[in-house]
Structure 1
């Protein structure tokens, strides 16, 4: 749910001069609340192209819209998992290494390495038996990391992709999102049953409505006594509906976050946003991401660069490539054991050289495996950033303080159930890469990928390697 905010600000609209920074002209203000990380450090601001919500809060620790050191992304998730463990054990929340976290967000590589070390050292024995549920598309890797921080808890993520052979065990709606419908497709029907605590993980809590929709839907078929909602940033206004809604079900709720904030929105936000979008669209520069080929792809289009099949590099038999259908403690252990060899094999096959500036690019919901490959490469000494493509359309503006300075647009390449449409990758043009590793699963390994995303990346990198999961 990256980008949701709530709040209000009364009084007449202030008409700012055109020379004022874009974020000031939008009039959105974010204030830290209480202890924890500073949300102004963890978040940037951009404009959505979505009639349901004008503003987009852009996380600097998620690895979705901003290429980020993968060790920082993983550490943030592990720290959040630690807070969940404290809540489940009914003990005071642990102190977070805030100085390291803030320095890591600022680009201090030594602080980033130290932050990941501290987060890994804090992983304890498995906490109270719990099921972790990460929200697609932004929190699929975050849910994995929270489960890892709990000592290897079971984890499932929602999906917008129906999969033949997997029955839908539940679903819910994310009302403000560009793509609203979520499915739950566990391989084992009993995964969502039982009374163990359910931990819902999202990158940001704005109103808590998506979490409440999910809890309400699941509680009908599998009521339980305990829910935990975990987010990188909590910007809900006081007196929100989440706590009251869960209490009405007769259940207990805990909410944990790395940072808490309060958001002020101008009364005329919709009008300001519309005016800014129109102004930016009229500029010669790109207010929308650079568009790739949209014509129908042909099957004889050649892929640039090498192609790497993880199945040929020693992928463990039976290990899922993600948590779309569930990921248990044994899978956590198998992935951790296999990652060093897999990452070394990818580096060798792709021809990564010392000093190469490399971007590992996940695709939509496929975030966890690209993140862990990128993090393992970074641990081995490579200069690596991690980010992911997305369905969410947003405004691009190369302006001071604005969170999305560049972007590309390309056609969907996984035959989505809701039909074809554009997809996006942001801030990939913020630096010129020596190498981009694009990680896809087999349903997304299509001629549309070869004709769309890969050539759209070409102006931004010397080489591109396609990495395909089992």
Structure 2
């Protein structure tokens, strides 16, 4: 099987090195002036439509590594946008853990607990908006979950900021891949000594990414060259769009943006089969390949719905991924991780203003075997707007019949 990093490795000399690392990531080129490459996870379900059982199972496996450190009664914090579902899965593996993920969406009525900066990101403002700040003040280990550790600066910034608000004795950093160099690992040890706290790190794979000199400039030139020769027509079509009423349970949060408690987890598990049944009933009868597509930070609920739909349709190939803010070059080559790109405007009135959003590897490109027979789009009601209908929905319905399901976003008045 072709490794989905071959194209970038051959042109930019970027090489992941480490046991099992190439099984977990491919490579793409960022459309970002600050970082040339993007590690594209094969088990995260963000940029690559993936078997939901693999995505959820990988998160549970990561959570198992945390649990092996005798960390169970913990507080778990995941990073937006890519690790929101991953953090949920880690919390699930820990049983009774409270979960909160960072967000780029300010929400009226929710006070900011802390903020931090993801230095290499294209959009750096993160907020922690717990409905009950007392949950984060408990005397319990804090587990920070991200999809990858490159330098570790983001998590160290977070630990320093949160420790200033509420000191604690133990932190655990959990990631799918750990790529830190010796200096970054030393920085983690130094911070632990400075704070008088223990900081453990666990990952499914550990290694490094070899970057040749001048890779940033070479990446910019490569993006310009490819985009100069790759402009093509936008697909148009008029497959039907059907709305499905999930009958979302009153009072159940849509995820961890404001905190997700163990009782919320139990209630979601109970309600999943019924909601998945309503989605499955909306699909075309002959749908053999189905995509459940989530929406930016809304990753966990679409993931769990995708898994439950797959259980109901054992003969279908059900995949899961989500839309994203992250701008990445698309190259329709089997040796490249991001083969196609749908571009559409933001549709949830983001606080940082309008901008492009993306759905990767949804369009089959030149390979008809990658086409979906049906697409289920799961958004929260904040993103269920005319801009959605004119943008992303128009792109999706050019590819396949679409089922749209809106989940009520948590609001202060609903608490």
SS in 1 for 2:374: strand
Moved more, 182-191 or 233-242: 233-242
Do structure 1's residue 437 and structure 2's residue 406 form an aligned pair?
no
SS in 2 for 1:138: coil
Q: Residue 364 of structure 1 aligns with which residue?
A: 296
Measured after TM superposition, the shift of residue 303 of structure 1 is: 10
Q: Which deviations, in whole Å up to 9, do the C-alpha atoms of 1:177-234 show, x marking residues without a partner?
A: 0110100010002121132100000000001110011111100010000000000011
Q: Residue 83 of structure 1 aligns with which residue?
A: 65
Q: Which deviations, in whole Å up to 9, do the C-alpha atoms of 1:246-279 show, x marking residues without a partner?
A: 3311110110001111111001101221221121
Identify the match of residue 342 of structure 1 among 260, 267, 275: 275
Measured after TM superposition, the shift of residue 467 of structure 1 is: 0.5
Consecutive unaligned residues in structure 1, runs of 5 or more: 1-19, 90-126, 294-301
Consecutive unaligned residues in structure 2, runs of 5 or more: 1-5, 365-369, 409-415
**Distance (whole Å) between structure 2 residues aligned to residue 285 and residue 69 of structure 1:** 30
Q: Which deviations, in whole Å up to 9, do the C-alpha atoms of 1:382-424 show, x marking residues without a partner?
A: 4210000000101011124111110110000000000000000
**Distance (whole Å) between structure 1 residues aligned to residue 135 and residue 340 of structure 2:** 41
Matches within 5 A, 1:398-413: 398-413=332-347
Q: Which runs of 4+ in 1 moved over 6 A?
A: 290-293
Do structure 1's residue 376 and structure 2's residue 308 form an aligned pair?
yes
Q: Residue 468 of structure 1 aligns with which residue?
A: 406
Do structure 1's residue 394 and structure 2's residue 394 form an aligned pair?
no
Identify the match of residue 189 of structure 1 among 130, 133, 137: 133
Q: Residue 76 of structure 2 aligns with which residue?
A: 132
Matches within 5 A, 1:416-427: 416-427=350-361
Contact 2:62 2:204 in 1 (8 A): yes
Q: Which deviations, in whole Å up to 9, do the C-alpha atoms of 1:77-100 show, x marking residues without a partner?
A: 00000000011x1xxxxxxxxxxx
Q: Which deviations, in whole Å up to 9, do the C-alpha atoms of 1:23-51 show, x marking residues without a partner?
A: 31111011115xxxx01111000000111
Do structure 1's residue 213 and structure 2's residue 165 form an aligned pair?
no
Do structure 1's residue 26 and structure 2's residue 8 form an aligned pair?
no
Contact 2:170 2:198 in 1 (8 A): yes
**Distance (whole Å) between structure 2 residues aligned to residue 49 and residue 210 of structure 1:** 21
Identify the match of residue 454 of structure 1 among 369, 382, 393: 393
Q: Residue 105 of structure 1 aligns with which residue?
A: none
Moved more, 136-145 or 165-174: 165-174
Q: Residue 104 of structure 1 aligns with which residue?
A: none
Measured after TM superposition, the shift of residue 352 of structure 1 is: 4.4
Contact 1:435 1:464 in 2 (8 A): yes
Matched residues, number? 393
Alpha-carbon distance change, 292 to 417 in structure 1, aligned in 2, over 3 angstroms? farther
Measured after TM superposition, the shift of residue 21 of structure 1 is: 4.1
SS in 2 for 1:309: coil
TM-score (norm 2): 0.91
Measured after TM superposition, the shift of residue 353 of structure 1 is: 2.7
Q: Residue 412 of structure 2 aligns with which residue?
A: none
**Distance (whole Å) between structure 2 residues aligned to residue 78 and residue 455 of structure 1:** 35
Contact 1:292 1:408 in 2 (8 A): no
TM-score (norm 1): 0.81
SS in 2 for 1:231: strand
Matches within 5 A, 1:34-113: 38-87=20-69, 89=70
Identify the match of residue 208 of structure 2 among 246, 251, 262: 262
Do structure 1's residue 244 and structure 2's residue 190 form an aligned pair?
yes
SS in 1 for 2:375: strand
Q: Residue 351 of structure 1 aligns with which residue?
A: 283
Let me know the Cα RMSD of the aligned residues. 1.8
Do structure 1's residue 319 and structure 2's residue 252 form an aligned pair?
yes
Measured after TM superposition, the shift of residue 355 of structure 1 is: 4.7
Q: Which deviations, in whole Å up to 9, do the C-alpha atoms of 1:102-149 show, x marking residues without a partner?
A: xxxxxxxxxxxxxxxxxxxxxxxxx53100001000000000000011
**Distance (whole Å) between structure 1 residues aligned to residue 41 and residue 195 of structure 2:** 32
**Distance (whole Å) between structure 2 residues aligned to residue 283 and residue 246 of structure 1:** 50
Q: Which deviations, in whole Å up to 9, do the C-alpha atoms of 1:140-181 show, x marking residues without a partner?
A: 000000001111411000000001111111111111101101
**Distance (whole Å) between structure 2 residues aligned to residue 216 and residue 259 of structure 1:** 25
Measured after TM superposition, the shift of residue 456 of structure 1 is: 1.0
Contact 2:8 2:27 in 1 (8 A): no
Contact 1:292 1:455 in 2 (8 A): no
Alpha-carbon distance change, 22 to 54 in structure 1, aligned in 2, over 3 angstroms? closer
SS in 2 for 1:387: strand
Q: Residue 111 of structure 2 aligns with which residue?
A: 167
